[in-house]
A and B are shown apart, each in its own frame.
Chain A
Amino acid sequence: MAQSEENNNKQASSADVKPPRRPERTKRLKRKSAPKPKSREQSDDAKLRPAAAIVPPQSVAGRALTLVVAIMSFLACLTVGGVSVVWDAADAWQNDLVREITIQIRPTEGVEMLREIDKAVALAQEFSGIESVRALSDAETKALLEPWLGEGLQLDGLPVPRLIQITVNDPTLLNLSQLKSMVSQKIVGASVDDHSVWTSRLAAMAGAVVVGGFAIMVLVLSSMVLSVVFATQSAMAGNKDVVSVLHLVGAEDSFIAREFQRHFLVLGLKGGVSGGVAAILCFILLDMLTRQGSGQAGSDQLSALFGTVSVSLPGYFGVFGVIFLVAILTAITSGLAVKAHLAKVD
């Protein structure tokens, strides 16, 4: 039917319509492939711009969201850096304390103190993992007591406990419990102090700081994820027409999600890198300031606690990890939000 009517109208409209005037074009379409003359194709190609983004970038997220992501990653990176500083400091304290053990010998009636000291030194030296064993001299003991008992102290007349300092070179080789039991059995009035109470408290404190730091980071990243969810929903609403056209041309939800995800990945990377770089600059600045200010009263307190306040290499790796995490989280969150939105739409 259509064909017969077409013949009637052919003359009137043939000047307007291109396909009927060019039967060879019809043949080419029938073959479903159309090899083109090379020169013409090249001239067309030359004009073609690289395929534009299907979802316009400017419609997805403004600078505000990038700034939010940057601030969130900055805070997360600061947390990682802070945790790293505390962790390193706690580790250093623990190492110092673990490498020092003290044997304390209390004076006992009828027992010669010097003999017991010699016995204790000899006993301690028999253990592996120990670098040196040294009994504190009379002068050193006097110096320790001087702030409380004043100058000109005569140790012989006082029941002053004597100390033996043991330096450990390899804590893993030293059998501490055996040392403790041997010392208490063989040396009269002696006990071993290995600072275990201190180290356990330090470990607990460092653990609490790390857990707190991670909790803060999780909160910060959660806020960022929520911001991205809202931004994605807003972007979806703003691109309703684009989504509708994509459905129209047979796009799968995963394709549409990928198109949005790509933008949010770039946004997450931009925000993450900005926040991370700002945090790294802060770390470097803090390190420089604490080094420059060494010798001043305030700085000495800080140095006593943390040494030099500088973020170690694992801290910087943590910052890079946060940047990567922020970008991935942003992309995954937006992808899931798009899919959830599309599931509701259809």
Chain B
Amino acid sequence: MIRFENVGLRYGMGSEILQDLTFEIEPQSFQFLTGPSGAGKTSLIRLLFMSLRPTRGLIKVFDRDLSVIDKQELPKLRRKIGVVFQDFRLLDHLTTYENVALPLRVIGKDESEYRSDVVDLLKWVGLGERMHVLPPVLSGGEKQRAAIARALITRPEVLLADEPTGNVDPPLARRLLRLFIELNKLGTSVVIATHDIALLEQVDARRMVLADGRLSIFD
């Protein structure tokens, strides 16, 4: 689904923060992306999401070479990838329901078409009673679940989650992990970037370890 070949990334004239990354995200796979803080996990997630372009190497997303993809085509490819950031990135002036429905509004769907799907999903992530409140009123865990729901509403083929449990307590972290596993069972490839060892130990999954800009993979 997503393939990296000898990918390198540097910001400006600095040294390469990611070097010779070669790996593939397979369909229906589940993997952790881990490594110490500052190892480049978020940069790699951004490369996977096509919000950064590599300074060298080949990235193929859904069999399309990123280096030749027109800028106009990026949104359509991005819609196949759900992404959850550590800082949630919810819009504070929209309710939980509206935040989760945003990806569907963006593709021009009428509210009557998606209303029941959004309500269902919000209940599925345990936010059925919080769908009409604004994000500033939500707790960290609720915000995280809302961000996850927003990433899932278009039923993406790949889910990228950057430190999804970074702002939540251990029980909620376990609960979120269960959500990702459930999603993976439904057919979505999942990449979870985390440095939370406790989280890694809960699931026997592929581990991609970033250190000193290089990637080691433990299947």
Q: Could you list which residues of chain A lie within 8 angstroms of chain B, going by C-beta atoms?
A: 1-6, 9, 12-13, 16-20, 25-26, 28-30, 32, 34-36, 41, 44-45, 47-49, 51-52, 54, 56, 241-242, 244-253, 255, 346
Given the complex of chains A and B, what is the CA–CA distance between A18 and B175 in angstroms?
Answer: 9
Chain A interface, >50% SS class: helix
Question: B203 to A36, Cβ gap below 8 A?
Answer: no
Q: For the complex formed, measure the closest distance between the CB of B102 and the CB atoms of chain A, giving whole angstroms.
A: 5
Alpha-carbon distance A5/B206, docked complex (angstroms): 12
A76 to B103, CA, bound (A): 42
State the B residues within 8 Å of A (CB).
Answer: 30, 49, 51, 71-72, 74-76, 78-79, 83, 85, 89-91, 93-95, 97-98, 101-103, 105-107, 111, 115-117, 119-120, 123-126, 131-132, 150, 154-155, 171-172, 174-175, 178-179, 181-182, 184-186, 202-206
Neighbouring B residues of A4 by C-beta, 8 Å: 204
Min C-beta distance of B146 to chain A, whole Å: 12
24 inter-chain pairs at a CB distance below 8 angstroms, sorted by A residue, are A2-B185, A2-B204, A4-B204, A5-B202, A6-B181, A9-B174, A9-B178, A16-B172, A17-B179, A18-B124, A18-B125, A18-B126, A26-B182, A34-B116, A48-B132, A49-B95, A49-B132, A51-B101, A52-B98, A245-B89, A246-B106, A250-B79, A250-B154, A252-B72
Neighbour of A346 across the interface among B71, B119, B132, B205, CB < 8 A: B71
A6 touches B79 (CB 8 A): no
Contact, CB under 8 Å: A249 / B95: no
> B124 and A19: CB pair below 8 A?
yes
* Given the contacts A1-B203, A6-B178, A252 and B132 also touching, CB distance less than 8 Å: no
Using known A-B contacts A1-B204, A2-B205, A5-B204, determine if residue A52 contacts B94 with beta carbons closer than 8 Å.
Answer: yes
Q: Please state if B106 and A250 are interface contacts (CB–CB under 8 Å).
A: yes
A249/B93 in contact, CB under 8 A: no
**B30 lies within 8 A of A2 (CB):** yes
Judge whether A16 and B120 touch: CB under 8 Å: no
Nearest first, the 6 closest Cβ-Cβ pairs linking A and B are A250-B79, A17-B178, A249-B103, A2-B30, A250-B78, A251-B106
When distances are taken between beta carbons in the complex, the residues of chain B under 8 Å from A3 are: 181, 185
Is the Cβ of B178 less than 8 Å from the Cβ of A16? yes
Q: Closest CB-CB distance, A27 to chain B, in whole Å?
A: 10
* CB <8 Å contact, A36 and B116: yes
Residues in chain B near residue A245, CB distance under 8 A: 89-91, 102
List of A residues within 8 angstroms of B203 by Cβ: 1-2, 5-6
CB distance from A283 to the nearest CB of B (A): 41
Least Cβ distance of A160 to chain B in Å? 85
Residues of chain B within 8 A of A17, CB atoms compared: 174-175, 178-179, 182
A54 near B178: Cβ-Cβ < 8 Å: no
Q: Which residues does chain B contribute within 8 Å of A9, judged by CB atoms?
A: 174, 178, 202
Q: How far apart sit A16 and B170, CA to CA, in the bound complex (Å)?
A: 12
- Contact between A16 and B186, CB atoms less than 8 A apart: no
A239 CB → nearest B CB, Å: 10
Contact A250 B76 (CB under 8 A): yes
Extra inter-chain contacts (9) besides given A18-B124, A248-B51, A346-B74, CB under 8 Å:
A2-B203, A5-B205, A6-B181, A17-B178, A17-B182, A28-B120, A248-B89, A250-B75, A250-B79
CB–CB A2/B178 < 8 A: no
Flag if B105 contacts A51 (CB, 8 Å): yes
A15 to chain B, nearest CB (A): 10
Bound: A248/B147 CA distance, A: 11
- When the two chains form their complex, are residues A25 and B124 in contact, meaning their CB atoms are under 8 A apart? yes
A37 to chain B minimum Cβ distance, whole angstroms, is: 10
Inter-chain contact A2/B184, CB cutoff 8 Å:
yes
Closest to A45 in B: B115
Partner of A1, one of B103, B115, B119, B205: B205
CA distance A102 to B202 in the complex (A): 109
**In the docked arrangement, what's the CA distance between A57 and B160, Å?**
31
Q: Is the CB of A20 within 8 A of B205?
A: no
Least Cβ–Cβ distance between A12 and chain B, in angstroms: 8
Is there an interface contact between A29 and B186, defined as CB atoms closer than 8 Å?
Answer: yes
Among A12, A44, A249, A346, the residue within 8 A (CB) of B102 is A249
**Is B107 within 8 A of A36, CB to CB?**
no
Q: Quick check: B102 and A54 within 8 Å, CB to CB? A: yes
Other-chain contact of A255, B106, B125, B181, B204 (Cβ < 8 Å):
B106
Given contacts A2-B184, A41-B116, contact A19 B174 (CB under 8 A): no
Known pairs A9-B174, A52-B95; A36 contacts B119 (CB<8 A): yes
Closest chain A CB from B132 CB (angstroms) = 5
B75 to chain A, nearest CB (A): 5
- A13: chain B residues within 8 A (beta carbon): 171, 174-175, 178
Task: Using CB atoms, name the residue of chain B closest to A41.
Answer: B116
CA distance A250 to B101 in the complex (A): 13
Complex alpha-carbon distance, A45 and B114, angstroms:
12
Kindly list chain A residues whose C-beta atoms are within 8 Å of the C-beta of B155: 32
Q: Distance (Å) between the CB of A158 and the closest chain B CB?
A: 89
- Report B113 CB to chain A, min CB distance, Å: 11
Nearest chain B CB to A258 CB, angstrom units: 11
Q: Is the CB of B93 within 8 A of A36?
A: no
Q: Which of B74, B123, B181 contacts A2 (CB 8 A)?
A: B181
